[in-house]
Amino acid sequence: MKKILLGLSLGLVLASTAAFAKTTITLAFVNNPDMVILKQLAPEFMAKHPDIDLQFQVLPENVLLNSITQDVAVGGGRYDIVNTGTYEVQGSWVKNHWLSPLNPLFDAMSEADRKAYDLDDILKTEREALSVDGKLYALPVYGESSFTMYRKDLFEKAGLTMPEQPTWEQIRQFACKLNDPAHGLYGISMKGVSDYSQLAPFITLMHSFGAKWFDQDWHPQITSPDFKKAFTFYVSLLKDCGEPGASSVGFNEGLTLVSQGKVAIWVDATAGASILQDPSTSKVVDKIGYALAPTQGSTNGSAWLWASGLGIVASSKHQQEAFEFITWATSKEYVKLVADKFGVVRTPPGTRYSTYKNPDYLKVAPFAPYTLKAIEEADMMHPAKDPVPYTGTAHVDIPEYAAWAADFAQNFSAVIAGTMSIDEALQRSQTTTENVMKDAGYIKD
């Protein structure tokens, strides 16, 4: 009898252990404000899914991108969910079968769950940016384009008027007039960090000037007159009217400068606007005005399109559990949770049409109409004034992009730091890019 009872007890213990066994899902995230919020709210998901344990790795974008690429390329299995954007989806990750298509997982949902998630509510441009050949490979946690943010109070005091869509020449004039470093105010903040994943402001400026990375035969155009003109303009704008130490300034650093009231103009991601309107993080709430991204002869490519999405690694052994999390993290329920916990102004931007119909959000988010317009009008398929063989407005959507863009970013930052001349930087970048493109077979002659 004792043996029977002991056996029953052991069986109950084993059954109990099995019943409460958890599946661990590992997520790799970029260290930015919206992803930090997602990590903070993850316990809400785990409370509803006690069988799933979430493990986060949050790193700077360039470090994380390299770590993810190395792991998924060899099927290392380190991650189940990765923070993947338009470049990864359009560039090589789908082509290399590193991400799982989400369509079969949506098809397997109950009708009620599909209706509750409402995939058609996701902005069409963002869905398309995360899709290849009609198949969806990631869901957006936030979406963005780029636009102009400026201090309304400083413009009014100086008698300046920001157009709905300024030119870069006008931006320079405004920035230099308002630049007052003696009193801790800089006319403009622009990125100068040596990180190829943060080149988007330069790339859009370059395209708006009518320049391009490549001609139709994939020959680099980095030493062309139009490219040099754009590069020189960017560097001189920062040198004459920008923040000091710009070679160390990326998105987060620029956001901090603006939110602390030290910058008059910021041309960067639309996603930054919600932080500037949040009184818990910003000293310039209600002082920021918004306009479309500047142009300088070409509207093609003058604003970027980006979706920061969650994709499931193809080698993950926990596809369904991973899908449950990414649909929760991009759902209407999650959007409402962020608003309830952090304030309506921190609602994830650029993801759902319903957000831009929410009167409570529109009341506290004066940037909302500009964000929606910028995202809907950004055309990643036609990034340059002239026809080009590539797509992508924040990157060039080819696998080899990182191989030459990393070198370009180093040279770009060195010029801004004053340790390299413009001509030397452009020639070095031209040579590196030519070599990469020849080795990859793009250049045939």
pLDDT tens column, 171-204 = 999 999 999 999 999 999 999 999 998 999 999 9
State the pTM of this model: 0.87
Q: What is the mean pLDDT of residues 281-291?
A: 95
Quick: pLDDT tens for 361-412. 999 999 999 999 999 999 999 999 999 999 999 999 998 998 999 999 999 9
Q: What is the mean pLDDT of residues 251-262?
A: 96
Average per-residue pLDDT in the chain?
92
pLDDT-derived band at 20 (thresholds 50, 70, 90) equals low
Give me the pLDDT at residue 22, please: 87
Q: What is the mean pLDDT of residues 219-230?
A: 98
Give me the pLDDT at residue 14, please: 45
Q: What is the mean pLDDT of residues 109-123?
A: 97
Give me the pLDDT at residue 132, please: 95
Q: What domains lie within the chain, and their CATH numbers?
A: 20-144+305-368 (3.40.190.10), 146-304+383-439 (3.40.190.10)
Quick: pLDDT tens for 325-370. 999 999 999 999 999 999 999 999 999 999 999 999 999 999 999 9
Give me the pLDDT at residue 120, please: 97
Q: What is the mean pLDDT of residues 25-29?
A: 91
Give me the pLDDT at residue 62, please: 67
* pLDDT > 60? residue 6: no
SS (H, E, C) the chain: CHHHHHHHHHHHHHHHHHHCCCEEEEEEEECCHHHHHHHHHHHHHHHHCCCEEEEEEEECHHHHHHHHHHHHHCCCCCCCEEEEEHHHHHHHHCCCCCECCCHHHHHCCCHHHHHHHCHHHECHHHHHHCEECCEECCEEEEEECEEEEEEHHHHHHHCCCCCCCCEHHHHHHHHHHHCEHHHCEEEEECCCCCCHHHCHHHHHHHHHCCCCCECCCCCECCCCHHHHHHHHHHHHHHHHHECCCHHHCCHHHHHHHHHCCCEEEEEEEHHHHHHHCCCCCCCCCCCEEEEECCECCCCCCCCCCEEEEEEEECCCCCHHHHHHHHHHHCCHHHHHHHHHHHCHHHCCCCCEHHHHHCHHHHHHCCCHHHHHHHHHHCCCCCCCCCCCCCCCCCCCCCCCHHHHHHHHHHHHHHHHHCCCCHHHHHHHHHHHHHHHHHHCCCCCC
